[in-house]
Each structure stands twice: as C-alpha cells, then as structure tokens.
Amino acid sequence: MKTKNFRAARGRLALACAQACLLLALPHLARACEDCGDEPPPPAPLPVATKPSLAQTTPTAPGNAAKHQNLGLVVVNGNSLSSLPSQLPTTMEGITAEEIARGINATDAEDALKYLPSLLVRKRYIGDYNHAVLSTRASGTGNSARSLVYADGIPLANLLGNGATFTPRWGMVTPAEIARVDVLYGPFSAAYSGNAVGAVVDYQTRMPSDFEAHAKLGLFQQPFELYGSDKTYGGYQASASVGDRAGRLSWWLHLSRLDSDGQPLTFVTKPLSNTAAGATATVLTGAVPGLDKSNNPWLILGAGTQYNTRQDQAKLKLRLDLTPTLSASYTLGWWGNRTAGNSESYLRDSAGNPFYAAPAASGTLASSPISLDGKAYTLASADFGQNRDLLNHRMQGLVVKSASKGVFDFELAASRYDYDQDQSRSPLVAKPGADAAGAGRLSDQSGSGWNTLAAKGVLRPTGSAHVIDFGAQQENYHWQQTVSNLSDWLNGAASSLFTGFGGRTRLNSIYAQDAWTLGPKLKTVIGLRLEEWSASDGFKTAATDSQGRPGKTVSFAHRDEQYASPKAALGYELNQDWSLRVSTGRAVRMPTVTELYQGGVNSNGVYVPNDPVTNPGLKPEKSWTSELSAQWMQGQQQVRITGFHEDTRDALYSQLAAVTGSNGAPGTVSSTQNIEHMRTLGLELAYQALDLGLKGLDVQASLTYTDSKILANSGFVSTAGDTLGKQQPRVPRWRASSLISYQFSPSLSASYGLRYSGPQYGTLNNSDPNGFAYQGFSKFFTTDLRAQWKLAKQWTLAGGIDNLNNYQYWNFHPYPQRTFHAELSFDL
C-alpha cells in the first residue's frame, strides 16, 4: 500500500469512527448518567441456576477460579486498568497481590507470571536485569519483541531491540507494590501493536484510599555446585512504601533495594585437544571434562559472569480526582543498577595457585600455551572476562481519564522512558588479581529510550448493542550505542572510538474495535488497526584505524511503510456450563532499531567479513494467529481448552546467509535475517478451583502442547536447507505448571508449586541435542514450597524454597539451584 493510499485509508477510518460515534451517541447524550452500565440492558433474566449471558458479563478478576473468567468474550468494566481497552476478545489470565504473597516466593516483578499457562521468564538469577526474556505459546526466550509489558499503563517492553539484552524493564516494578497482574494472550485486540503477538502483561500497582504504610525485608540463599564451582550465593531485598488520600488527592511513595549475588552464568571452555603439549607450556590441573551442546567432548576451565548486582528503585505516584468521573494520574519512577561481573579459574599451577593467562608487557591481549593432561591448549588473556555496569533509568507517565461508565469515556496518556546512564566496562586482559587495572572497552547506550502518546475512547450508546473502542497512538524509539577504547577499564575516560551505532523508529497507529451483542448468548468483536512505521537516522561508525584516523560513518536510507491488521472474535454460550470463543487476528511485528542497524564496518565503511552486518532492509514479521476456546464453569471450578495456530511470514532470526565478497569470491555472513515461513499449532488446557473438596484448598494447573516448525528458509546454520522442518528454537513441545495452596487457618497458609518444560533446541537446525550443558537448552521439572504466617495484625512472616528438588537445568546459562527464602513484612 502506498503512503498516500494508506493516509487516505487512515483518514477514512478516523472519519468513519467519528461519524459512528456521533450517530450512535447524539440521541442519547442528554440521558448520559454516572451509573449507566457498560453494556446495554439485558434481555429477560435467565433462570437463577444459569450463568449471566454475554450481555450481562461482569468485571473480571483474574486469579480466582470462581470469579476471574467470563463466558464467551472477556470484558473489563469499572475496574479496568489504564492500558486495557474495555472489550478484550482474548484469553486472559491473572493473579492478585494476595495470591502472589500466599503462593510465590517473589523477589522480582516477573515472578508473578511463574505459574500462568504457557509463560516462562528466562530469569537466570535474582535481579536478572539483562536476560529475563518472556516466552509465550509460540515465541521462545530469544524473542523479547514478541510481547508487551506495561506498569500502570506505562510501556516497559524494551522494543529498542530483540533478544536477551533487550528484556522488559522489570526492575521498575517490585513485588511489594503490585496490586494485580493481568495477561492477555495473542494479538486479538486492535488496541495493541504487532508486538502483542505473544502476550500483553499489565501490572497494576497500589494506590491508597486511606493512609497506609508497608515495610518488607527478604533474605535468600542458594548453595550452588556445578563443574568446578562450589559456593553459596545470596542477598537481600528491602522495601518501604507509604501512601494516603486527602480529599481529591491521593499519593504513593515506594522505595526498594535489592542486593544479590548470582551463580556463575558463563564458562571458559576448550575443545578436546589431540596435540601433545610443547616443552614450554605451563603444566596445569583442575580442568573439568564434559560434553558440549552437540555432545562433542570439551574441557571447562573456569566460570564467568558471576554477578553482584545492587539495584535501587524509587517511585512516586499522584492521582487527582478532578470530578467524580474525571481523574489525572502522574507516575515518576527511577531505577539504578550497579553490577560487578567476575570470573574464576579452575586451573591451578604446580604451587596450587589459580592460573590466568598472563597479559603482554604492554597490557594488551596475549595468550599462554598451557598443558592439560599432556595435551596442548592456548589460554587467551580475554578468556576470563569481567564487567562493571552502571545504569540509571527514569520513567514517567501522565494519564487523564474519564470513567463515567456512561455513553462516552476517554483516556489521554503520555509516557517516556530514558536511559539517563547506561554503561558497561570490560577489560581486554585476564584478571589475575582483584580489580587489576589495564586496557579495556566502554559500551555506552546513554541517551537511548522511548516515548509514547495515546488517545483512546469508548462509546456505549444507550439502548445500542454496540460498544466501540477507538484510538490513535504514537511510539518513538531512539537507540544509540558507542563502544570506546579505555586505557583504564575501571575508571578511565573513553578515548578512541571502537565502533558506534544508532537510529530511530516510529510507529503511528489508529484503531477501531466494535463489540456487538448479537443476542443474549452471542457476541462478536471486530477490529481494525492501521499502522504507519518509519525507520530513520540509522548509522554505523567503524573503529579508528591503526594510524589514528577516525572510522567512516555509514548512513542508511529512511524507510516508511504501512500495514493493516484486522481482528475478529466470536463468543457463544452453549448452556449454563459451557461457552465457546473463536478469535483471529493479524499482527505485524516491526524490526527494532538494533536489528536494522547494529553490526560492524571497517574504517573505509566496508562490512567486516564474518562480523554481524547491518540489514536495514529487514522485513517486518507478519503473523496470522487464531484460537478456539471452550470453557466449562460450574460452582467454584472451571476448565478452559484452547487450540491455537500461528502462521508467521518473515520471522526475524540471526543466521548465516551466502554472500559474494568484493573480490567476487563466495562466502557467508551472520546477521539478523527473515525466515520466510514458520507455523505453530498447539493445545492449552487450564484448570482452576477454589475449596476443592476441602475448604481453603485452591488449585490451578495448566498443560500446553506446541508444535512449531520452520517451513521455508533461504538462510542456514551450517549447510543450505538444514533448518527446514526443524523445531523453532527455545519453544518446547510440552509445558506444564500447577500451584496448590491451602489455608490452614486465617493466619497460616502454605503452597506447593510444580513446573515442567520438555526438551528444546537453541539452534535453528536443532543441532544441539544435549541440553544439559553450558549453551544448551534442557528440559526441567522443579518444585517450590512457600508458607505464610500472620504473626499479628500488622506482622507477617513467610518463607519458602524454590527448586526444592535441586534440578540442574539450562537455558544457555544454568538456572538457579535450590534457593531458600525468608521474609518479614509490616503493614499499617
């Protein structure tokens, strides 16, 4: 679709929306009232024993079996969150603060998602700030840009890039401030961009109606034993909050600190050598034999990336009720992180001292010949890496919202997320001692960030069978990264430039969605989203050359494209126990700035061979997703069965492609590319019950089967065609979870959780069958315990054990082993 045609179509849609609103609203505006319902008047009442019809659907309250699911289509009324539309044609699950406190050893915001169906957060350790990617039904833990995360309507999904280092900014929310979390599955609401193809996670934090104060202290400890590592890691988390409401003004202030020592995450490895060591090689011991992800023998020489992270968070929220139905809310949040990443050598010399490769006399890169079991190896001075990260991020959001529940309501929202400071320092040489000085590099992303604007409306004409949601949105993403050389990696200032990248993307969208009650048992939602996406100011700068001449900057052309994404859902109530829902929708996931522009060029502006290259011509991912759900609800129990299908064209993954060099010789290059066709089929079962056979016994459980295959791909991993018919990376066939809780008395409760994931692959050609190794992706089965005891009216003691069975499992990095928790909280 050409730009002028798209803009004309967008104008026609906006005009049609406005005309529909006026035509439907004008006859009824004089009758608007504060207590008018969201839905049209119900038909003749059903017998008492039956459930309410779709036209009588009540507000959802995810997390409790008896009250969180509705028949047919999910509808959120008076208690809707600021970022959710009034009509949600999608599967929705959720959990409340009370349920989190009773059933989950939550140290980070993402822990609230732990037992929800088909979800997995790749949280490697407590406080994981740069790899905790959310995985959904048809998306693995390498696809961070295929889900959206909000906190009080402010976007926390990091759409500057896609992958492990662009995780949602979970640290802007702590478990102590969460009021509830809702998850919407799939791209079935027109109110969200194509990044919602996997799920939308929405956090609502506390806002007081009277004076309240809270304080919490948590301790955790993890004995960890793997390869040559055998230590105990732990830390603490402390938070305090206070809030009040005085007349029309309510306020909330929250402060928290997390100090965490995580287990080692990376390891120094060498393929098994068959060459005899030379006479000058240093004889060492301590290497641990093993098999790599492809079952090839190797030696593990040491551990790396053992993080000590200290995170501080502060948040201020203000809400002013301008009228009984109109309010303005402002949120200001700050998150700071200081991290030291360390490494440890397993190697010992003849005197029993740890051995690291010796740097050259100039303090630059060097290597050491070593002998292990009489075989020759080379240990590079950069093998044992380190880093020192300093991050200070700030977010703010302003929302003006009406909630009359009458004919018309609206919401105006603006938000901004800033990388005020985002720096990572690393040395070029091994560290034989504590914080040894030397040359290094500084990676600086300060100045990056995103901002959003949104105008939303909902029209509920009195006497009409329609509820119309509509809106306009703009999202802006700005990313810049410079990598500079340092003479002193710990404290030195940046000197010469090593490389630099940057660029911008923008997404302008308008949407309309009509929830139409066709009868007492039948409802449909039809929506359309129109999007105009642009990428601009993209550039790369190469390294300064050996003569000190600055690298050449390569700029990339502006792009401007338009897409339309229709949505549709239909819900039908079969009888008082059963309901059906079918939903379908198109999602267009745009390339992120880093996918477009990150890569390497030399000082002449020519791509560096075998270095990840920029691909500014990447196509967006285009997915058609559908689901069919049947739900049974009776008394305090409910069962949901959902079949889902996703057909994706031009999926974005990093892989090899054949290229022709400047000299005409064939070669290969690795970069982010489009995979022509992927397809996912699956089935999800979810069960919830309250007071199951025994008062106070609650159960929730889920089971998911997923078959996700690569059907067409011109790229490859090692040979042409080696990815065809293979399983999508990091998407296991089977997943299951269950959380069982029991209230022994009003003051004492306990819970037992189970989670399972089947085998999976990390490579596109599935050439890594050994998941139980560094860089592997394993199956797992873990169990968790938690108990909560209310000591007095204001004091609560809680404790638990995660990974009670001490299962050793991997998602490239090792997950935590058995971890002990203890918490003491005060609530006034």
Q: Which CATH number characterizes residue 534's domain?
A: 2.40.170.20
Position 82 scores a pLDDT of 45
Residue 510's domain spans which residues?
Answer: 3-793+802-814+821-827
**pLDDT given for residue 346 in this prediction:** 96
pLDDT above 50: residue 58: no
Least confident of 358-362, 491-495, 500-504, 772-776: 358-362
**Chain-centroid distance, C-alpha 666:** 39
Least Cα distance to 143 among 731, 791, 709, 602 occurs for 731
Phi/psi at 10 (5° precision): -65, -40
Rg (CA), the chain: 28
pLDDT given at position 757: 97
pLDDT computed for residue 421 by the predictor: 97
In the predicted model, is pLDDT for residue 47 greater than 50?
no
Strand, helix or coil at 64?
coil
- CA–CA separation, 602 and 447 (whole Å): 25
Which residues partner with 744 through β-bridges?
A: none
Q: Under DSSP, is residue 163 helix (H, G, I), strand (E, B) or coil?
A: coil
Q: In the 8-state DSSP scheme, what is residue 117?
A: T
pLDDT of res. 224:
98
Q: Are 423 and 489 in contact (CB under 8 A)?
A: no
pLDDT, tens only, 661-679: 555 666 677 788 999 999 9
What is the per-residue pLDDT for 283? 95
Average pLDDT over residues 432-453: 86
**Residue 126 φ/ψ, nearest 5 degrees:** -70, 120
Say if residues 685 and 736 touch (Cβ distance below 8 Å): no
Residues 466-476 have a mean pLDDT of 96
Amino acid identity at 566? P
Reported confidence tier of residue 261, pLDDT bands at 50, 70, 90: very high
Closest C-alpha to 172, from 242, 251, 109, 235? 109
- Per-residue confidence (pLDDT) for residue 69, from 0 to 100: 40
When mean pLDDT is compared across 48-62, 140-154, 561-575, 676-690, the lowest value belongs to 48-62
> pLDDT value at position 106?
96
What's the pLDDT band for 368 if we cut at 50, 70, 90?
confident
**What does the pLDDT look like over 724-738, one tens digit per residue?**
999 999 999 999 999
pLDDT at 361: 54
Residue 468 reports pLDDT greater than 80: yes
Any residues with CB less than 8 A from the CB of 691 and at least 6 apart, and which? 636, 697, 698
Number of H helices, E strands in the chain: 3, 40
What is the mean predicted confidence (pLDDT) over 463-483? Answer: 95
Question: What's the pLDDT at 433?
Answer: 54
CB 785 within 8 A of CB 801: yes
Q: What's the pLDDT tens digit per position in 532-557?
A: 999 999 998 877 666 666 778 888 99
- Look at 47 and 732; give whichever has higher pLDDT: 732
Q: Identify the pLDDT of residue 14.
A: 44
Question: How high is the pLDDT of residue 29?
Answer: 30
The per-residue pLDDT for 737 is: 97
- Cα–Cα distance for residue pair 380/324, rounded to 1 Å: 68
pLDDT, average across residues 655-661: 72
Q: What is the mean pLDDT of the chain?
A: 87
What are residue 607's DSSP bridge partners?
Answer: 601
CA 238 to chain centre: 24
In order of 372, 429, 595, the CA distances from 357 in angstroms are: 14, 8, 35
Closest among 335, 307, 328 to 173, alpha carbons compared: 335
Question: pLDDT digit string (tens) for 192-235?
Answer: 999 999 999 999 998 999 999 999 999 999 999 999 999 999 99
What percentage of the chain reaches a pLDDT higher than 90?
Answer: 73
Which residue did the predictor score with more confidence, 355 or 681? Answer: 681
pLDDT of residue 56 exceeding 50: no
What kind and span of H or E run contains 326? strand 326-345
pLDDT tens track for 307-360: 999 999 999 999 999 999 999 999 999 999 999 999 999 999 999 999 987 655
User: What span, in angstroms and rounded, lies between the C-alpha atoms of 501 and 480?
Assistant: 6
Predicted confidence at residue 70, as pLDDT, reads: 46
The pTM of this model reads: 0.89
- Predicted local distance difference test score (pLDDT) of residue 661: 58
Give the residues across from 708 on adjacent strands: 680
- Of the candidates 659, 538, 650, 558, the residue with the CA atom closest to the CA atom of residue 607: 659
What pLDDT shows up at residue 76? 55
Number of domains in the chain: 1
What local confidence, expressed as pLDDT, does residue 438 receive? 82
Of all residues in the chain, the percent with pLDDT exceeding 70 is: 84
Q: Compute the average pLDDT of residues 496-514.
A: 94
For the chain, give the number of residues. Answer: 828
Over the stretch 777-817, which tens digit does the pLDDT of each residue have?
999 999 999 999 999 999 999 999 999 999 999 999 999 99
Q: pLDDT tier at 431 (50, 70, 90 boundaries)?
A: low
Distances (CA, A) of 327 to 250, 356, 568: 11, 61, 32
pLDDT at 180 over 90: yes
Question: 57-61, 299-303, 492-496, 582-586 — which is least confidently predicted?
Answer: 57-61
pLDDT of 569 higher than 50 = yes
Q: To which residue do tokens 């919407």 refer? A: 184
Mean pLDDT of the 592-608 span: 71
